[in-house]
Amino acid sequence: MTEPLYKTVIGTLIDRIISGELVPGAMLPSEHDLGTELGVSQGTARKALEELERRGIIKRRQGVGSFVAVRTPENAMFQFFRLRNPDGTQAIPDLAEEAVSSRNAAACEAGQLSGAPEKVHEIVRVRTIGGARLIYEKSVVPAVLFPGLDQRAPLPNALYALYQQAFRIAIVRAEESIRAIAADQETASALGCAVSRPVMRVERKAFDIADRCVELRSSFYVTDHHAYGISLS
Amino acid sequence: MTEPLYKTVIGTLIDRIISGELVPGAMLPSEHDLGTELGVSQGTARKALEELERRGIIKRRQGVGSFVAVRTPENAMFQFFRLRNPDGTQAIPDLAEEAVSSRNAAACEAGQLSGAPEKVHEIVRVRTIGGARLIYEKSVVPAVLFPGLDQRAPLPNALYALYQQAFRIAIVRAEESIRAIAADQETASALGCAVSRPVMRVERKAFDIADRCVELRSSFYVTDHHAYGISLS
DNA sequence: CTGCGTCAGTCTTGTATAAGAATTCTCCTA
DNA sequence: TAGGAGAATTCTTATACAAGACTGACGCAG
Nearest residue to nucleotide D10, by CA–C1' distance, is A62
Please indicate whether, in this complex, the C-beta atoms of A181 and B180 are within 8 angstroms of each other.
yes
Is pLDDT of A1 > 60? no
Helix, strand, coil shares of chain B, percent, nearest 5, are 30, 35, 35
pLDDT band at A141 (very low <50, low <70, confident <90, very high): very high
Looking at A68, A87, A122, the residue that finishes a domain is A68
Nearest CB to A232 within list B174, B223, B224:
B174
**Number of separate domains in chain B:** 2
Is pLDDT of A216 > 80? yes
**B159 occurs within a structural domain:** yes
Q: What is the pLDDT of residue B145?
A: 97
Looking at B39, B68, B97, the residue that finishes a domain is B68
Between CA B46 and CA B39 the distance in angstroms is 13
Structural domain boundaries, residue A134: 73-228
Whether residues B55 and B79 share a domain: the answer is no
**B54 occurs within a structural domain:** yes
Whether residues A107 and A60 share a domain: the answer is no
- For chain B, how far is it from start to end, CA to CA, in angstroms? 34
Q: CA triplet A215, A216, A221: central angle to 5 degrees?
A: 125
In degrees and rounded to multiples of 5, residue B7 shows phi and psi of: -70, -35
Burial class (CB in 10 A: 0-12, 13-18, 19+), B111: exposed
Q: Is the dihedral of CA A45, A51, A53, A58 positive or negative?
A: negative
Helix, strand, coil shares of chain A, percent, nearest 5, are 30, 35, 35
Q: How many CA atoms lie within 13 A of A152 on its CB side?
A: 17
CA of A59 to C1' of D20 (A): 34
Whether residues B190 and B93 share a domain: the answer is yes
Nearest in space to A70 (alpha carbons), one of B111, A79, B201? A79
Q: How far is CA A150 from CA A99, A106, A147, B9, in A?
A: 9, 18, 8, 55
Whether residues B115 and B138 share a domain: the answer is yes
Q: What is the pLDDT of residue B2?
A: 67
Whether residues B79 and B55 share a domain: the answer is no
**B184 occurs within a structural domain:** yes
Q: What is the pLDDT of residue B1?
A: 46
**B170 occurs within a structural domain:** yes
CATH number of residue B24's parent domain: 1.10.10.10
**A78 occurs within a structural domain:** yes
Any A CB within 8 A of B175 CB: yes
pLDDT digits (tens, 9 = 90+) for B40-56: 888 889 999 999 999 99
Q: What is the mean pLDDT of chain B?
A: 94
Q: What is the average pLDDT across A72-89?
A: 92
Q: What is the pLDDT of residue B139?
A: 98
Whether residues B145 and B169 share a domain: the answer is yes
Whether residues A24 and A102 share a domain: the answer is no
Whether residues A30 and A59 share a domain: the answer is yes
Between CA A178 and CA B217 the distance in angstroms is 18
Between CA A191 and CA A128 the distance in angstroms is 9
A34 touches A12 (CB < 8 A)? no
Q: What is the average pLDDT across B117-123?
A: 97
Q: What is the average pLDDT across A98-111?
A: 96
Is pLDDT of B156 > 90? yes
CATH number of residue B162's parent domain: 3.40.1410.10
**B233 occurs within a structural domain:** no
Give the DSSP H or E segment for A25. none
**A145 occurs within a structural domain:** yes
Is pLDDT of A44 > 60? yes
Please indicate whether, in this complex, the C-beta atoms of A180 and B174 are within 8 angstroms of each other.
no
- To the nearest 10 degrees (0 to 180), the angle between helices A31-38 and A42-54 is 110
Whether residues A10 and A41 share a domain: the answer is yes
Closest Cα of chain B to A183: distance in Å?
Answer: 9
Nearest CB to B181 within list A80, A173, A198:
A198
Any B CB within 8 A of A182 CB: yes
SS (H, E, C) A84-120: ECCCCCECCCEEEEEEEEEEECCHHHHHHCCCCCCEE
Whether residues A34 and A144 share a domain: the answer is no
Collect all residues of chain B within an 8 Å Cβ-Cβ radius of residue A224.
179
In B69-148, where does DSSP find H-type helix?
A: 73-80, 107-112
**A233 occurs within a structural domain:** no
B113 touches B120 (CB < 8 A)? yes
Q: Which residues touch strand D (CB under 7 A)?
A: A 28, 30-33, 42-43, 46, 49-50, 60-66; B 1, 4-7, 35, 40-44, 47, 61-64
Whether residues B120 and B158 share a domain: the answer is yes
Whether residues A98 and A32 share a domain: the answer is no
